[in-house]
């Protein structure tokens, strides 16, 4: 960790404005299992950084309000490369910048969890992303125009067929695609071989096997390459986009001066599309099967439970079940709980209004009267309706 801190100090102040106009330095922190190192925060006062004991609010790579100050945070235990950590600090700092810029074009995450597995959509999306990449790499102006026109035509066609869900993609590209864009620039800035950096993102864009597994993350890459095309079209697009109310795709379409609808031949790739769909369905089923095979004591909590925090990047939904792979925050009787492990939730209509959660415990909870005290989670009060050596079910009070 000390080596990372020294390299960060040697890199300060980050020249973030070269990645995006007006992108000023913000508060940020890196942390491991025990310690948090906070930089550029009012709490630091005159110090370059301060060391704090890790608390539960420092979790994953994201941005948080730490003592009422928007702060980018990165978990260094997840990565072994300073270059990656640096680029992620820029990525998460950009989200803070978006917040400070009063960004409001955020996606409706519930649409992402319910994103349909549709043959026609998958087929068109494969071709659309291929045309986007071909437009980026083309050096022939006529060919580039052709590829951009095909990309826009395909995106508009999907918007006609699946309007809400493609608008969800557009919104994710707007928020996360732009953050991926500054992340890419930061990584290329400190990497010895820039071509290797862009190839990494290109592989993710064109990996059809992953196309339907995580819709949200797949939009990061398409958003990045739309940004890179905008670099070819306009020198000051970032200033205009920050002020715009349009999402990234519509801003790109409005900025591109030569768009004309074009006839696009869709290849006969039904076998590949069917494999992608089957793989997406199977992956979901396997995720729930593996969760149910977890070792430990199965704890079921049912009743009036409100989901207040979750990681949209790491959720698998199957009809009215959602598997939260990393963590979630929930509220029961105005008391909040943070659970840092895989948890399965069940609901009826509203994803946030949970009827039941399931998780597996390494150690049995302490049972006192009508209370369960669970290590690292907290205390629940209610009616214990079943208690076995390998399972326990409590109905919480509403």
In tens, the pLDDT along 346-377 reads 999 889 999 999 999 999 999 999 899 999 99
pLDDT attached to residue 71:
98
| pLDDT tens by residue, 18-34 | 999 999 999 999 999 99
| pLDDT tens by residue, 287-346 | 999 999 999 999 999 999 999 999 988 999 998 999 999 999 999 988 999 999 999 999
**Whole-angstrom distance, CA of residue 124 vs CA of residue 121:** 5
Q: Give CA 370 to chain center in angstroms.
A: 38
pLDDT at 195 over 70: no
Q: In sequence order, what are the residues at sequence separation of 6 or more whose Cβ sits closer than 8 angstroms to the Cβ of residue 380? A: 301, 332, 371, 372, 374, 394, 396
Helix (H) / strand (E) element for 338: namely strand 335-339
| pLDDT tens by residue, 155-182 | 999 999 999 999 999 999 999 999 999 9
pLDDT attached to residue 249:
98
Q: Select the highest-mean-pLDDT range: 78-82, 113-117, 229-233, 331-335.
A: 229-233
**Whole-angstrom distance, CA of residue 202 vs CA of residue 162:** 25
| pLDDT tens by residue, 260-283 | 999 999 999 999 999 999 999 999
306, 308, 312, 314: CA torsion to nearest 10: -70
pLDDT attached to residue 163:
96
**Whole-angstrom distance, CA of residue 296 vs CA of residue 375:** 13
pLDDT attached to residue 44:
95
pLDDT attached to residue 175:
98
What value does the mean pLDDT of the chain take? 94
**Whole-angstrom distance, CA of residue 181 vs CA of residue 184:** 5
**Whole-angstrom distance, CA of residue 302 vs CA of residue 159:** 39
pLDDT attached to residue 194:
62
Which residue in 239, 237, 242 sits closest to 254, CA to CA?
237
């Amino acid at each position: 960790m000390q080596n990372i801190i020294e390299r960060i100090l040697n890199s300060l102040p980050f020249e973030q404005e070269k990645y995006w106009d007006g992108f000023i330095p913000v508060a940020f922190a890196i942390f491991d299992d025990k310690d948090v190192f906070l930089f550029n925060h009012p709490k630091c006062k005159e110090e370059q950084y301060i060391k704090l004991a890790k608390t539960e609010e420092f979790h994953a790579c994201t941005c948080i309000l730490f003592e009422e100050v928007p702060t980018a945070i990165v978990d260094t235990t997840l990565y072994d490369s300073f270059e990656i950590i640096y680029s992620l600090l820029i990525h998460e700092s950009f989200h803070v910048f978006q917040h400070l810029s009063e960004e409001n074009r955020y996606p409706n995450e519930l649409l992402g969890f319910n994103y349909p597995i549709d043959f026609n959509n998958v087929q068109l999306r494969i071709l659309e992303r291929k045309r986007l990449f071909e437009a980026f790499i083309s050096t022939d102006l006529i060919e580039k125009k052709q590829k951009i026109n095909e990309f826009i035509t395909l995106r508009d066609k999907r918007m006609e067929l699946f309007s809400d869900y493609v608008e969800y993609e557009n919104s994710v590209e707007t928020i996360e695609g732009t953050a991926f864009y500054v992340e890419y620039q930061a990584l290329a800035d400190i990497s010895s071989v820039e071509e290797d950096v862009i190839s990494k993102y290109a592989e993710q864009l064109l990996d059809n096997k992953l196309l339907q597994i995580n819709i949200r993350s797949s939009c990061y890459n398409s958003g990045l390459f739309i940004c890179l095309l905008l670099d070819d079209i306009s020198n000051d697009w970032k200033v205009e986009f920050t002020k715009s109310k349009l999402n990234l795709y519509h801003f790109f379409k409005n900025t591109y001066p030569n768009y004309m609808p074009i006839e696009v031949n869709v290849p006969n790739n039904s076998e590949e599309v069917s494999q992608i769909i089957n793989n997406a369905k199977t992956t979901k089923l396997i995720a729930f099967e593996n969760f149910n095979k977890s070792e430990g004591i199965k704890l079921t909590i049912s009743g009036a439970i409100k989901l207040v925090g979750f990681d949209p990047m790491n959720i698998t939904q199957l009809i009215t079940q959602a598997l939260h792979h990393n963590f979630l925050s929930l509220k029961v009787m105005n008391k909040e709980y943070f659970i840092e492990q895989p948890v399965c939730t069940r609901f009826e209509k509203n994803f946030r209004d949970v009827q039941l959660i399931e998780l597996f415990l390494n150690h049995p909870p302490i049972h006192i009267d009508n209370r369960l005290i669970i290590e690292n989670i907290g205390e629940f009060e209610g009616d214990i309706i079943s208690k076995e050596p390998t399972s326990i079910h409590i109905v919480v009070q509403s």
